[in-house]
Amino acid sequence: MRLRKVADRGVRGIFMANAVFSAVVLLGILAFLLLYGVRTFSGTSVLKFLSGTVWNPDAYGEPSYGLLPLLLGTLASTAIALIIAIPLGVASAVFISERLKGWVRVTVKTLVELFAGFPSVVLGFFGLVVLAPLIARIFHVPSGLNLLNAGVLLGLMSLPTIISVADDALRVVPHSYREAAYALGATPWTTAIRIVLPAARSGILAAIMLGFGRAVGETMVVLMVAGNAALMPKSLFDPVRTITSTIAIELGESAFGDTHFYSLFALGFVLFLLALATNLVAESLIRREKRSFTL
Protein backbone atom coordinates (compact mmCIF):
# COMPACT_ATOMS: atom_id res chain seq x y z
CA MET A 1 0.00 0.00 0.00
CA ARG A 2 2.79 2.40 0.96
CA LEU A 3 4.65 1.43 -2.18
CA ARG A 4 1.69 2.32 -4.36
CA LYS A 5 1.50 5.76 -2.77
CA VAL A 6 5.22 6.33 -3.24
CA ALA A 7 4.94 5.25 -6.86
CA ASP A 8 2.04 7.63 -7.29
CA ARG A 9 4.10 10.53 -5.98
CA GLY A 10 7.10 9.44 -8.03
CA VAL A 11 5.37 9.42 -11.41
CA ARG A 12 3.84 12.81 -10.67
CA GLY A 13 7.36 14.15 -10.13
CA ILE A 14 8.59 12.62 -13.39
CA PHE A 15 5.71 14.10 -15.37
CA MET A 16 6.18 17.50 -13.80
CA ALA A 17 9.91 17.45 -14.51
CA ASN A 18 9.21 16.81 -18.19
CA ALA A 19 6.68 19.63 -18.39
CA VAL A 20 9.04 22.05 -16.69
CA PHE A 21 11.88 20.91 -18.95
CA SER A 22 9.77 21.56 -22.05
CA ALA A 23 9.02 25.09 -20.88
CA VAL A 24 12.65 25.71 -19.98
CA VAL A 25 13.63 25.00 -23.61
CA LEU A 26 12.19 28.43 -24.43
CA LEU A 27 14.44 30.06 -21.83
CA GLY A 28 17.40 28.02 -23.11
CA ILE A 29 16.89 29.27 -26.64
CA LEU A 30 16.57 32.84 -25.37
CA ALA A 31 19.71 32.45 -23.23
CA PHE A 32 21.87 31.17 -26.09
CA LEU A 33 20.62 33.81 -28.53
CA LEU A 34 21.42 36.52 -25.98
CA LEU A 35 24.75 35.03 -24.92
CA TYR A 36 26.00 34.73 -28.50
CA GLY A 37 24.05 37.68 -29.89
CA VAL A 38 25.53 40.30 -27.57
CA ARG A 39 29.04 39.32 -28.64
CA THR A 40 28.22 40.93 -31.99
CA PHE A 41 28.62 44.22 -30.26
CA SER A 42 32.29 43.80 -29.60
CA GLY A 43 32.65 44.22 -33.37
CA THR A 44 29.96 46.79 -34.07
CA SER A 45 27.66 49.05 -32.07
CA VAL A 46 24.03 48.39 -31.18
CA LEU A 47 23.05 51.62 -32.91
CA LYS A 48 24.80 50.64 -36.14
CA PHE A 49 23.16 47.21 -36.01
CA LEU A 50 19.68 48.63 -35.52
CA SER A 51 19.93 51.56 -37.92
CA GLY A 52 22.47 50.44 -40.51
CA THR A 53 21.19 50.24 -44.07
CA VAL A 54 23.95 47.98 -45.37
CA TRP A 55 24.40 44.31 -44.51
CA ASN A 56 27.80 43.29 -45.78
CA PRO A 57 29.78 41.26 -43.27
CA ASP A 58 32.35 40.21 -45.88
CA ALA A 59 33.33 43.71 -46.94
CA TYR A 60 37.07 44.11 -47.06
CA GLY A 61 38.30 46.48 -44.38
CA GLU A 62 35.08 47.53 -42.75
CA PRO A 63 32.29 44.95 -42.60
CA SER A 64 28.84 46.37 -41.90
CA TYR A 65 26.06 44.74 -39.95
CA GLY A 66 22.96 46.80 -40.70
CA LEU A 67 19.71 45.08 -39.79
CA LEU A 68 17.41 47.34 -41.82
CA PRO A 69 17.65 45.85 -45.33
CA LEU A 70 17.00 42.37 -43.90
CA LEU A 71 14.19 43.51 -41.63
CA LEU A 72 12.67 45.36 -44.56
CA GLY A 73 12.98 42.25 -46.74
CA THR A 74 11.18 40.22 -44.07
CA LEU A 75 8.46 42.82 -43.51
CA ALA A 76 7.93 43.50 -47.23
CA SER A 77 7.53 39.83 -48.17
CA THR A 78 5.31 39.27 -45.13
CA ALA A 79 3.17 42.30 -46.02
CA ILE A 80 2.53 40.92 -49.51
CA ALA A 81 1.77 37.54 -47.98
CA LEU A 82 -0.82 39.07 -45.66
CA ILE A 83 -2.41 41.22 -48.37
CA ILE A 84 -3.11 37.95 -50.17
CA ALA A 85 -3.82 35.70 -47.21
CA ILE A 86 -6.05 37.88 -45.01
CA PRO A 87 -8.97 38.34 -47.45
CA LEU A 88 -8.67 34.83 -48.87
CA GLY A 89 -8.21 33.23 -45.47
CA VAL A 90 -11.01 35.05 -43.65
CA ALA A 91 -13.44 34.56 -46.54
CA SER A 92 -12.60 30.86 -46.66
CA ALA A 93 -12.98 30.51 -42.91
CA VAL A 94 -16.41 32.18 -42.92
CA PHE A 95 -17.55 29.91 -45.73
CA ILE A 96 -16.20 26.78 -44.02
CA SER A 97 -17.66 27.62 -40.63
CA GLU A 98 -21.08 28.94 -41.75
CA ARG A 99 -21.81 26.85 -44.81
CA LEU A 100 -19.89 23.56 -44.89
CA LYS A 101 -21.11 20.51 -43.00
CA GLY A 102 -20.43 16.81 -42.78
CA TRP A 103 -17.96 15.10 -45.05
CA VAL A 104 -17.41 18.15 -47.29
CA ARG A 105 -16.24 20.11 -44.28
CA VAL A 106 -14.00 17.27 -43.11
CA THR A 107 -12.50 16.89 -46.60
CA VAL A 108 -11.80 20.59 -47.06
CA LYS A 109 -10.32 20.95 -43.57
CA THR A 110 -8.18 17.86 -44.08
CA LEU A 111 -6.83 19.23 -47.36
CA VAL A 112 -6.04 22.58 -45.73
CA GLU A 113 -4.31 20.79 -42.84
CA LEU A 114 -2.39 18.64 -45.31
CA PHE A 115 -1.09 21.78 -46.94
CA ALA A 116 -0.13 23.21 -43.54
CA GLY A 117 2.25 20.28 -43.11
CA PHE A 118 3.54 20.50 -46.67
CA PRO A 119 7.37 20.55 -46.69
CA SER A 120 8.39 24.15 -47.28
CA VAL A 121 11.36 23.07 -49.38
CA VAL A 122 8.97 21.41 -51.84
CA LEU A 123 6.84 24.56 -51.97
CA GLY A 124 10.00 26.57 -52.59
CA PHE A 125 10.91 24.18 -55.41
CA PHE A 126 7.44 24.66 -56.88
CA GLY A 127 7.95 28.43 -56.71
CA LEU A 128 11.27 28.04 -58.46
CA VAL A 129 10.09 25.91 -61.36
CA VAL A 130 6.48 27.11 -61.83
CA LEU A 131 5.88 30.50 -60.26
CA ALA A 132 9.20 32.15 -61.17
CA PRO A 133 8.91 31.61 -64.97
CA LEU A 134 5.25 32.62 -64.76
CA ILE A 135 6.06 35.92 -63.02
CA ALA A 136 8.90 36.62 -65.45
CA ARG A 137 6.57 36.05 -68.40
CA ILE A 138 3.54 37.98 -67.12
CA PHE A 139 5.42 41.06 -65.93
CA HIS A 140 8.22 40.98 -68.52
CA VAL A 141 10.98 40.98 -65.92
CA PRO A 142 14.29 39.17 -66.36
CA SER A 143 13.96 37.07 -63.21
CA GLY A 144 10.96 35.72 -61.36
CA LEU A 145 13.02 35.21 -58.22
CA ASN A 146 11.95 38.30 -56.34
CA LEU A 147 9.87 39.90 -53.62
CA LEU A 148 6.60 39.15 -55.38
CA ASN A 149 7.32 35.43 -55.73
CA ALA A 150 8.35 35.14 -52.08
CA GLY A 151 5.29 37.12 -50.96
CA VAL A 152 2.87 34.97 -52.94
CA LEU A 153 4.33 31.72 -51.61
CA LEU A 154 4.43 33.02 -48.04
CA GLY A 155 0.80 34.05 -48.46
CA LEU A 156 -0.10 30.51 -49.50
CA MET A 157 1.88 29.16 -46.54
CA SER A 158 0.10 31.33 -44.01
CA LEU A 159 -3.36 30.57 -45.46
CA PRO A 160 -3.84 27.23 -43.62
CA THR A 161 -2.93 28.88 -40.30
CA ILE A 162 -5.32 31.78 -40.87
CA ILE A 163 -8.13 29.50 -42.10
CA SER A 164 -7.87 27.03 -39.18
CA VAL A 165 -7.57 29.59 -36.41
CA ALA A 166 -10.28 31.86 -37.89
CA ASP A 167 -12.59 28.87 -38.38
CA ASP A 168 -12.09 27.93 -34.72
CA ALA A 169 -12.80 31.54 -33.73
CA LEU A 170 -16.04 31.59 -35.73
CA ARG A 171 -17.17 28.26 -34.35
CA VAL A 172 -16.88 29.30 -30.72
CA VAL A 173 -19.42 32.06 -31.37
CA PRO A 174 -22.47 30.62 -29.54
CA HIS A 175 -25.32 29.36 -31.66
CA SER A 176 -27.72 31.63 -29.79
CA TYR A 177 -26.15 34.63 -31.60
CA ARG A 178 -27.17 33.19 -34.95
CA GLU A 179 -30.62 32.15 -33.73
CA ALA A 180 -31.27 35.62 -32.34
CA ALA A 181 -30.39 37.14 -35.72
CA TYR A 182 -32.61 34.68 -37.61
CA ALA A 183 -35.47 35.44 -35.23
CA LEU A 184 -35.19 39.10 -36.16
CA GLY A 185 -35.47 38.15 -39.83
CA ALA A 186 -31.79 38.33 -40.78
CA THR A 187 -30.66 36.09 -43.63
CA PRO A 188 -27.78 33.64 -43.11
CA TRP A 189 -25.52 35.97 -45.08
CA THR A 190 -26.36 39.01 -42.97
CA THR A 191 -25.96 36.89 -39.86
CA ALA A 192 -22.55 35.62 -40.92
CA ILE A 193 -21.17 39.00 -41.93
CA ARG A 194 -22.86 41.35 -39.48
CA ILE A 195 -23.21 39.18 -36.37
CA VAL A 196 -20.86 36.20 -36.31
CA LEU A 197 -17.80 37.78 -37.92
CA PRO A 198 -17.76 40.87 -35.64
CA ALA A 199 -18.36 38.67 -32.58
CA ALA A 200 -15.28 36.63 -33.50
CA ARG A 201 -13.07 39.62 -34.27
CA SER A 202 -10.47 38.96 -31.54
CA GLY A 203 -10.05 35.39 -32.73
CA ILE A 204 -9.83 36.51 -36.37
CA LEU A 205 -7.16 39.01 -35.39
CA ALA A 206 -5.30 36.22 -33.60
CA ALA A 207 -5.50 34.15 -36.80
CA ILE A 208 -3.94 37.01 -38.74
CA MET A 209 -1.19 37.41 -36.13
CA LEU A 210 -0.36 33.70 -36.29
CA GLY A 211 -0.33 33.86 -40.10
CA PHE A 212 2.09 36.76 -39.81
CA GLY A 213 4.27 34.70 -37.48
CA ARG A 214 4.31 31.83 -39.92
CA ALA A 215 5.39 34.08 -42.80
CA VAL A 216 8.05 35.93 -40.79
CA GLY A 217 9.69 32.72 -39.63
CA GLU A 218 9.73 30.82 -42.91
CA THR A 219 13.21 30.11 -44.23
CA MET A 220 13.38 27.66 -47.13
CA VAL A 221 10.76 29.25 -49.35
CA VAL A 222 12.31 32.71 -49.24
CA LEU A 223 15.79 31.26 -49.49
CA MET A 224 14.82 29.56 -52.75
CA VAL A 225 12.65 32.17 -54.48
CA ALA A 226 13.37 35.64 -53.07
CA GLY A 227 16.58 36.24 -55.02
CA ASN A 228 18.60 36.96 -51.86
CA ALA A 229 20.19 40.35 -52.60
CA ALA A 230 20.75 42.15 -49.30
CA LEU A 231 19.55 45.50 -50.66
CA MET A 232 16.76 47.80 -49.62
CA PRO A 233 13.86 46.60 -51.84
CA LYS A 234 12.28 49.31 -54.02
CA SER A 235 9.88 47.38 -56.21
CA LEU A 236 7.92 44.15 -56.26
CA PHE A 237 10.39 42.75 -58.74
CA ASP A 238 13.53 43.44 -56.72
CA PRO A 239 15.29 40.49 -55.17
CA VAL A 240 15.15 40.62 -51.38
CA ARG A 241 16.95 39.00 -48.49
CA THR A 242 15.05 38.21 -45.32
CA ILE A 243 16.40 37.74 -41.79
CA THR A 244 15.77 33.99 -41.98
CA SER A 245 17.49 33.47 -45.32
CA THR A 246 20.48 35.54 -44.22
CA ILE A 247 21.03 33.20 -41.29
CA ALA A 248 20.62 30.19 -43.59
CA ILE A 249 23.06 31.53 -46.17
CA GLU A 250 25.75 32.88 -43.88
CA LEU A 251 25.92 30.51 -40.92
CA GLY A 252 27.87 28.08 -43.06
CA GLU A 253 30.24 30.77 -44.34
CA SER A 254 31.09 32.45 -41.06
CA ALA A 255 33.86 31.20 -38.81
CA PHE A 256 32.87 30.09 -35.32
CA GLY A 257 33.62 32.83 -32.83
CA ASP A 258 33.96 35.90 -35.05
CA THR A 259 31.64 38.89 -35.17
CA HIS A 260 29.93 37.64 -38.31
CA PHE A 261 29.02 34.35 -36.60
CA TYR A 262 27.64 36.14 -33.54
CA SER A 263 25.73 38.68 -35.62
CA LEU A 264 23.62 35.82 -36.99
CA PHE A 265 22.56 35.01 -33.44
CA ALA A 266 21.64 38.67 -33.00
CA LEU A 267 19.45 38.26 -36.09
CA GLY A 268 18.01 35.12 -34.53
CA PHE A 269 17.22 37.12 -31.41
CA VAL A 270 15.28 39.66 -33.49
CA LEU A 271 13.29 36.80 -35.06
CA PHE A 272 12.72 35.26 -31.64
CA LEU A 273 11.30 38.52 -30.27
CA LEU A 274 9.05 38.98 -33.32
CA ALA A 275 7.73 35.42 -33.02
CA LEU A 276 7.29 35.56 -29.25
CA ALA A 277 5.45 38.90 -29.30
CA THR A 278 3.20 37.68 -32.11
CA ASN A 279 2.36 34.50 -30.22
CA LEU A 280 1.68 36.13 -26.89
CA VAL A 281 -0.62 38.72 -28.46
CA ALA A 282 -2.45 36.05 -30.47
CA GLU A 283 -2.86 33.91 -27.38
CA SER A 284 -4.35 36.75 -25.33
CA LEU A 285 -6.70 37.63 -28.21
CA ILE A 286 -7.96 34.05 -28.36
CA ARG A 287 -8.45 34.03 -24.59
CA ARG A 288 -10.31 37.32 -24.79
CA GLU A 289 -12.71 36.00 -27.43
CA LYS A 290 -13.48 32.87 -25.40
CA ARG A 291 -13.99 34.95 -22.28
CA SER A 292 -16.41 37.27 -24.05
CA PHE A 293 -18.80 34.34 -24.62
CA THR A 294 -18.83 33.03 -21.05
CA LEU A 295 -21.13 34.87 -18.72
Partner 1 sequence: MDAIGTSSPARKLRRRRFGDNAGFVLLAVPLAVFVLFILYMFFYLFRNGLGVINWQFLTQAPTKGMTEGGIWPCIVGTVLVTFVSLVFSVPVGIFAAIYLSEYAPANFLTRAIRSAIRSLAGIPSIVYGLFGVALFVTGLKFGLSILSSGLTLGLMNLPWIIATAEEAINAIPGSFREGALALGATKWEAIRHNVLPYAFPGILTGVLLAVARTLGETAPILFTGVTYYTRTIPTSLTQKFMALPYHLFTLATQHDQISTVRPIAFGTALVLLVFVLAFDAVAFVIRLRVAGTNKWQV
Question: Rule CB under 8 A: which of 127-146 touch partner 1?
Answer: 128-130
Contacts with partner 1: how many residues (CB under 8 A)?
A: 91
Q: Which is nearer to partner 1, 51 or 143 (CB)?
A: 143
* Residues 69-96 as b or e (16 or more Cβ within 10 Å = b): bbbbbbbbbbebbbebbbeebbebbbeb
**Site membership for partner 1, residue 114 (CB under 8 A):** yes
**Site membership for partner 1, residue 46 (CB under 8 A):** no
Contact at 8 Å (CB) between 30 and 206?
no
CB 62 → partner 1: shortest distance, Å? 25
**Site membership for partner 1, residue 244 (CB under 8 A):** yes
Contact at 8 Å (CB) between 294 and 176?
no
**Site membership for partner 1, residue 156 (CB under 8 A):** yes
Considering only residues 51 to 70 of the shown chain, the ones binding partner 1 according to CB under 8 A are none
Contact at 8 Å (CB) between 233 and 240?
yes
Considering only residues 253 to 282 of the shown chain, the ones binding partner 1 according to CB under 8 A are 256, 264-265, 268, 271-272, 275-276, 278-280
**Site membership for partner 1, residue 193 (CB under 8 A):** yes
Among 219, 233, 240, 259, binds partner 1 (CB under 8 A): 219
Considering only residues 70 to 109 of the shown chain, the ones binding partner 1 according to CB under 8 A are 87-89, 91-92, 94-96, 98-99, 106, 108
**Site membership for partner 1, residue 26 (CB under 8 A):** yes
Among 122, 138, 180, 184, binds partner 1 (CB under 8 A): 122
Contacting range for partner 1; rule: CB under 8 A; set: 44-52, 57-65, 135-143, 214-222: 214-222
Q: Which is nearer to partner 1, 85 or 147 (CB)?
A: 85
Contacting range for partner 1; rule: CB under 8 A; set: 7-15, 41-49, 59-67, 175-183: 7-15
**Site membership for partner 1, residue 18 (CB under 8 A):** yes
CB 210 → partner 1: shortest distance, Å? 7
**Site membership for partner 1, residue 16 (CB under 8 A):** yes
Question: Which residues does 181 contact at the CB level (< 8 Å), separation at least 6?
Answer: 190, 191, 194, 195
**Site membership for partner 1, residue 115 (CB under 8 A):** yes
Number of Cβ within a 10 Å radius of residue 283:
13
What phi, psi does 253 have (nearest 5°)?
Answer: -90, -25
Q: Which is nearer to partner 1, 53 or 257 (CB)?
A: 257
CB 176 → partner 1: shortest distance, Å? 21
